[in-house]
Structure 1
Amino acid sequence: MKTLRFQSFVLVSLSFILGFSEFIIVGIINDVAQQFSVSVAAVGLLVTLFAAVYAIATPLISLLIGKHRLYWSLVLLVTIFIAGNLLTALAGNYIVLAISRMLTAVVSGAIVSLAITFGSFLAPMEKRAGLIAWIFSGFSIAAVFGVPVGTWISSYTSWRNVFWLISLLGVVTLILAMKCLPAGLRQQQTRNFFSQLAIFGDRRIRLGVLLPMFNLAGIYVFYTYLQPLFAQALNFHSNTIAVLLFGYGFMSLLGNLYSGRMADENGLSKLTVVFLLQTILLVTLPVVLGSRWSAVPVIMFLGLTMYLVNSPTQLFFLEVAEKNFPQSMVLASSFNSIFANLGIAIGSAVGSLLYLHTGLVGIGPGGAFFAALALLVNLTLTRLRQSSAGYKKFSSKNKKV
């Protein structure tokens, strides 16, 4: 029962239900707006709210986990996650809906960091990058299958049924996790609560965390309004939109899986090309919206680039923590989720402002601004890592003399 393959399946399942819960708002945004008689932009701000709470709460909860058993921390957090989705399903008004989304967001990031920490402890070194890539792929699988299925359920029954389904999947996954994950696992003892924050003294970390933030800030400026893009700008039917959302999610899944291979091959340096491509695609988005045949390929290629950053950056954070800050393993495991969601909050907020003032035309260039920032940060980090490696090599040679 306690085989690595089954444990990996459970960890990927955790990320799937987390992604399903987080991303589904994009697929049901019009239905929720109609239900509560609010604007599409108001529902879009739920994405911003979720991501902001996620980014703020995740490091705090990760720090509080400290020396406590990771198993029981995971059980508690997943239970709260299930309760948050049940409250969403039962929400009688927009305020309760917003509160339920915040409750879900509070624990989601810490659950991801715990899943990654379990994965890094359970997998042998040669399989670690692949397992981390698969854990992140749970989010892409949610985009591939969860969002289109959830959109279909919402269209033909009710959006509330989507959250009943997420709650049920959460219960099943929690039971499986309790059966297969080791109960005694802890991270290294810490001298005090704040000693875990020492990792932020490393300049590489301070630069590295900007990559997932700017990456998803750029993507979410347009991704938050992906359904209106397909429906309003390109005039696709609702059934076709479900297929297109599936296609977008499938492309993001391919990108996520390829990010694992990138992580094994000095992936951070290769991200320069990724961010350059993102910038170009987002700048051209308003131009190609006049034609379905040109707009759909551009949108799908953006989906491919969406999660290429995941495994290279996450493996980089874990390597720095293992070598220099072992007391910060859980915190380091959460960096990708924390700063990606901070980027989601920024991107979706900017997207909402652009949507209100410029319509769908302005969201592409708005996203391109953040992609260009990610490009500049990655160039700086690459030079820093190369100079650091050169210095260490030089020092090593001098010691041998």
Structure 2
Amino acid sequence: MRSAPLPGWLYILFLTLLATATDEFVIAGVLPAVAVDLEVSVSAAGQLVTSFAVVYAVGAPTLSMACERLPKRTVLIVGLGLFAVANVAAAVAPGYWFLMAARVAAALCAAVVTAAAFATAAAGAPEGAQGRYLGLVTAGMTTALFSGVPLGAWLGGAFGWRATFWLIAAIGVIAAVGLLLTAPDVPGTAPAPLRARLAPLRDGAVLRLVATTFLAASGGLMFYTYLGPYTAEVAGPSYGLLSAVLLLVGVAGLAGALLAGRASDAGGPRRALRRTLAGHALALLLAAAVAFAGTDSRYVLALVVGCWAVVAWALNPPVQGAILAAAGPDAGMTALALNICGLYLGTAVAAAAGGAVIGTLGVAYVPLTAAALLLLSFLLAPRTAAARPVPGGVAAGRQQ
């Protein structure tokens, strides 16, 4: 039996996540230009990336809990509108601290929009297709790695760094208008006391999955962060080779996100999650073995990195499905936001820990250390859990 075609609003959610993910990293490609224009050091300009990630991680659960009772469509449209305004403010920023404030505002909007987008995709999916829907939305974040971020960097080089923020603001407006016209009506939860809204913070099953995400992100993004030194270690330094490897990661990661969504639907999110984590750990062990063996082959490098990227970017659909099943529909958006917090904290740990590993042991030990973290994540991931299914097809029937 053929799968039903995906609704148009789901592709707009893909575009939404493409915009928010691009906004986080795009400034990294124009840091020197920002530093010169605003008369600050490059390291100070780099804090614009750090502040976005930290605010995103902290703001996601806080704002999502506050917005849990609101209709998801409203949260998405208003959040995207404010996100666009924040990026316009960044584009016209007269100084460093004004730009920093605009980045903080954009991060807060991106955090709540991302959680609402995943909650909408899950609730709007027909029965048996939740993983597929979550996979496509996740693919928006993955696509930013090899399309949105490079495009923004090129635009910044051609027309100035401010043009990158004008582009992101325009995409935010387009996505907001698209969702205004097509998004399903996913209602918010009924008013509840603060204790009830904080339930995911006390839910052992949810917290276990958030810890699983944190460990997996720490390991996987550690390897990704230092993929440049690893590429040089395995196949020699080459800017062109590194660019090709990063493109490979994006394409393979996109495939992994889409395939993981289907696997989550076919066998259940918890089973798909454990298989993904096991495959991720094995891929990192293979990457470590190649580095220690001193294999000087671009083809071996491409094979190893491609296999790793597929399983690394396959994490989000099954873990989000498992989170939603554990939390239930009334606290789903808050639980998803907690998971986003775990993901971004893992990102921060990955960069610091990977740098320490390289400084003390060497590049070859980065994938080995990352594999150890993935093994811990696999051991922590629940085999079974009491499922509280998220009803599929909320208002989705009229959209398909």
Matched residue, 1:397:
none
Out of 318, 326, 335, the position equivalent to 1:332 is: 335
CA 1:134/1:167 → structure 2, altered by over 3 Å: closer, same or farther? same
CA 1:201/1:71 → structure 2, altered by over 3 Å: closer, same or farther? same
Q: CA deviation at 1:243?
A: 4.4
CA 1:342/1:97 → structure 2, altered by over 3 Å: closer, same or farther? same
AA partner of residue 327 (structure 1) = D
Q: CA deviation at 1:270?
A: 0.5
In 2, the alpha carbon distance for the partners of 1:166 and 1:36 equals 20
Matched residue, 1:320:
326
CA 1:163/1:354 → structure 2, altered by over 3 Å: closer, same or farther? farther
**Does the residue aligned with 2:218 lie in a helix, a strand or coil?**
helix
In 1, the alpha carbon distance for the partners of 2:138 and 2:91 equals 26
Structure 2, gaps ≥5 residues long: 388-400
Q: CA deviation at 1:354?
A: 6.3
In 2, the alpha carbon distance for the partners of 1:241 and 1:138 equals 22
In 2, the alpha carbon distance for the partners of 1:296 and 1:57 equals 37
Q: CA deviation at 1:143?
A: 1.7
Q: CA deviation at 1:370?
A: 4.8
Q: CA deviation at 1:312?
A: 1.0
Q: CA deviation at 1:246?
A: 2.5
Kindly indicate which of the two structures has a greater share of residues assigned to helix.
Answer: 1
Contact 1:45/1:348 (8 A) holds in 2: no
Structural mapping, 1:226-265, within 5 Å: 234-237=236-239, 242-264=243-265, 265=267
1:269 paired with 2:270, answer no
CA 1:37/1:286 → structure 2, altered by over 3 Å: closer, same or farther? farther
Contact 1:17/1:166 (8 A) holds in 2: yes
In 1, the alpha carbon distance for the partners of 2:236 and 2:35 equals 21
How many matched pairs? 377
**Does the residue aligned with 2:198 lie in a helix, a strand or coil?**
helix
Matched residue, 1:159:
161
CA 1:50/1:195 → structure 2, altered by over 3 Å: closer, same or farther? same
In 1, the alpha carbon distance for the partners of 2:198 and 2:366 equals 33
Q: CA deviation at 1:257?
A: 1.2
- Give the root-mean-square deviation of aligned CA atoms: 3.4
TM-score by length of 1: 0.80
Q: CA deviation at 1:222?
A: 4.4
Which stretch has the larger CA shift, 367-376 or 205-214?
367-376
Q: CA deviation at 1:90?
A: 3.2
Q: CA deviation at 1:191?
A: 2.5
Q: Deviations over 1:67-108 (max 9, x none)?
A: 223222222211221122223333455444433322221121
AA partner of residue 376 (structure 1) = L
Matched residue, 1:208:
209
Which stretch has the larger CA shift, 137-146 or 309-318?
137-146
Matched residue, 1:392:
none
Q: CA deviation at 1:248?
A: 2.0
Contact 1:321/1:328 (8 A) holds in 2: yes
TM-score by length of 2: 0.81
AA partner of residue 316 (structure 1) = A
CA 1:302/1:86 → structure 2, altered by over 3 Å: closer, same or farther? farther
Contact 2:200/2:327 (8 A) holds in 1: yes
In 2, the alpha carbon distance for the partners of 1:37 and 1:318 equals 46
CA 1:286/1:240 → structure 2, altered by over 3 Å: closer, same or farther? closer
CA 1:210/1:37 → structure 2, altered by over 3 Å: closer, same or farther? farther
CA 1:280/1:89 → structure 2, altered by over 3 Å: closer, same or farther? farther
Q: CA deviation at 1:342?
A: 1.7
Q: CA deviation at 1:153?
A: 2.6
Structure 1, gaps ≥5 residues long: 390-401
Out of 278, 285, 288, the position equivalent to 1:280 is: 285
Q: CA deviation at 1:299?
A: 3.9
Q: CA deviation at 1:4?
A: 5.9
Q: Deviations over 1:290-320 (max 9, x none)?
A: 9462545444444333321111111111112
Structural mapping, 1:211-226, within 5 Å: 211-224=212-225
Aligned-pair identity in percent equals 26
Contact 2:223/2:370 (8 A) holds in 1: no
AA partner of residue 58 (structure 2) = I
**Does the residue aligned with 2:313 lie in a helix, a strand or coil?**
coil
1:57 paired with 2:42, answer no
AA partner of residue 140 (structure 2) = G
**Does the residue aligned with 1:126 lie in a helix, a strand or coil?**
coil
In 2, the alpha carbon distance for the partners of 1:187 and 1:35 equals 44
